[in-house]
Amino acid sequence: MTTTLIPAGTATDRPAHRDPDVLRWLGAYTASMVGDSVYYIALSWAAVRAGSATQAGVVMAVSAVPRALLMLGGGVVADRFGPRRVVIASDAVRCAAVLAVAALLFLAAPGLWLLALLAVVFGTVDAVFMPAVGALPARVTSRGQLARVQGMRGLAIRFASIVGAPLGGLGVAVGGAAAAFAVAGLLIAVSVPLLVSVRMRDLPPDDTAAARGATALHDLRAGLRYIRGHRVLVPLMLAIALGDLGFVGPLNVGLTLLADERGWGASGMGWVLSGFGTGAGAAALLLTLRGRLPHAGRIAGWSIMAGSVAIGALAQVPSVLTAVGVALLVGLLAGLSGAMCGALLQTHSDPAYLGRVTAVSGLVSLGFAPLSMPLSAAAIGVWGTGPVFVVSAAVCGLGGVIALSVRDLRRAELPG
């Protein structure tokens, strides 16, 4: 596949929100993320209808195994073959797999084995898709626009979460899981021609020449050495990992148990989640409009610290209305810290290593952080929501302490 290259210093210097290549990338990313949301709704519905609740849970979780095991290798693939090629190929495979399952469900009722196979395929492809998605913006726009692109990406994620769930529910209501899978596949398919039309920035000759003739294992080791020797990336990834570990459990399993304990019900929990989503969307919009915030390292550290306090406070509030306000604050601060950390990760990584950098970061967020969910549920069963939320807040806050105590990260700035 031929990659169209943008000479340095040309169209990529324009503001990201006015750059046709960035907008095409954003449209492709949004369509793919909405398709993912619809896919998970369809998969969960089909699994519940085909088996027991326990079997459905296994089907939903099975994609995480290949994704976690193969993520580092996926980063090598993204850097070796270029993120654009990898994203296009993986989106095409995801689309074909989902549409094939939709067709089979229209014709017959194959059972849980087909859904489990689809989940494994999806998780395996995600292992290369996700590092490539993280590495792609640096090839589409200039370094000075990467922070704004990170904000635009955050808005796309918020949009996908708002639109995807009801769209998937509508597909299930109209035509069952088969129709929902078809909608998901068609949405993912929309991203492919958009990505094909995106022009790419070339890498400096030294960066591309360094990888010639090297084995995949050599590339992986080189990427890990690069991260280990970087004064900003090491503490940044540690801060991201601690923030995710302290955040994922309370805001997923913990919030459900808290709503049940306080008698808020499903509607109350929905309002709290909407408050969080609104706050996170506002943070992404701020970075999209501003493009750059000064003192990025300090902002990331202090927002993680303040967000951890808000997480601890969430378990102490008595009413749904107060909980919505606290959740909005949690979303705003978590969205701000996440956007700043993501922008710092993009701008402080050599583009030639960005796939591997994204893979390591994604492994922490998608491989380790979800482990906090069953641990949080078990701990809440023993000690209750209050103490567990406080401990989770302390873990999250430790990430902010690291960001503020490591000089190179504390002083890190985004390019202007």
The predicted-structure confidence for 369-410, as pLDDT tens digits, reads as follows 666 777 777 888 888 888 989 999 999 999 999 999 999 999
Averaged pLDDT for residues 95-116: 88
The total of structural domains in the chain comes to 2
pLDDT at residue number 213: 61
pLDDT at residue number 6: 43
Rounded-to-integer distance, Cα 107 and Cα 121, Å? 21
**Domain presence at residue 208:** no
**Domain presence at residue 209:** no
Is 171 found in the same domain as 281? no
Position 416 pLDDT exceeds 70: no
Q: Which of 198-207, 272-281, 373-382 has the lowest mean pLDDT?
A: 198-207
Averaged pLDDT for residues 301-310: 95
Is 170 found in the same domain as 226? no
Position 195 pLDDT exceeds 70: yes
Last residue of a domain, one of 144, 168, 202: 202
**Domain presence at residue 281:** yes
**Domain presence at residue 213:** no
pLDDT at residue number 145: 86
**Domain presence at residue 386:** yes
Rounded-to-integer distance, Cα 158 and Cα 300, Å? 20
Range of the domain at 297: 219-410
Is 154 found in the same domain as 243? no
Position 211 pLDDT exceeds 70: no
Is 166 found in the same domain as 74? yes
Is 104 found in the same domain as 184? yes
* 365-374 exposure pattern, b = at least 16 Cβ within 10 A, e = fewer: bbbebbebbe
**Domain presence at residue 380:** yes
**Domain presence at residue 207:** no
Position 143 pLDDT exceeds 60: yes
3-state DSSP of the chain: CCCCEECCCCHHHCCHHHCHHHHHHHHHHHHHHHHHHHHHHHHHHHHHHHCCHHHHHHHHHHCHHHHHHHHHHHHHHHHHHCHHHHHHHHHHHHHHHHHHHHHHHHHCCCCHHHHHHHHHHHHHHHHHHHHHHHHCHHHHCCHHHHHHHHHHHHHHHHHHHHHHHHHHHHHHHHHHHHHHHHHHHHHHHHHHHHHHCCCEECCCHHHHHHCCCCCHHHHHHHHHHHHHCCCCHHHHHHHHHHHHHHHHHHHHHHHHHHHHHHCCHHHHHHHHHHHHHHHHHHHHHHHHHHCCCCCHHHHHHHHHHHHHHHHHHHCCCCCHHHHHHHHHHHHHHHHHHHHHHHHHHHHCCCHHHHHHHHHHHHHHHHHHHHHHHHHHHHHHHHHCHHHHHHHHHHHHHHHHHHHHHCHHHHCCCCCC
**Domain presence at residue 11:** yes
Is 400 found in the same domain as 288? yes
Is 297 found in the same domain as 399? yes
CATH number, domain with residue 98: 1.20.1250.20
Residue 225 pLDDT class (50, 70, 90 cuts): very high
Is 137 found in the same domain as 282? no
Averaged pLDDT for residues 25-36: 93
Query: 39-82: per-residue pLDDT in tens?
Result: 988 888 888 887 776 677 778 778 878 888 899 999 999 998 88
Is 312 found in the same domain as 379? yes
Is 396 found in the same domain as 293? yes
Is 170 found in the same domain as 67? yes
Rounded-to-integer distance, Cα 206 and Cα 167, Å? 46
pLDDT at residue number 373: 72
Position 13 pLDDT exceeds 50: yes
Position 5 pLDDT exceeds 50: no
Position 9 pLDDT exceeds 50: no
pLDDT at residue number 48: 80
Contact predicate 341/414, CB 8 Å = no
Position 359 pLDDT exceeds 70: yes
pLDDT at residue number 2: 41
Rounded-to-integer distance, Cα 128 and Cα 312, Å? 35
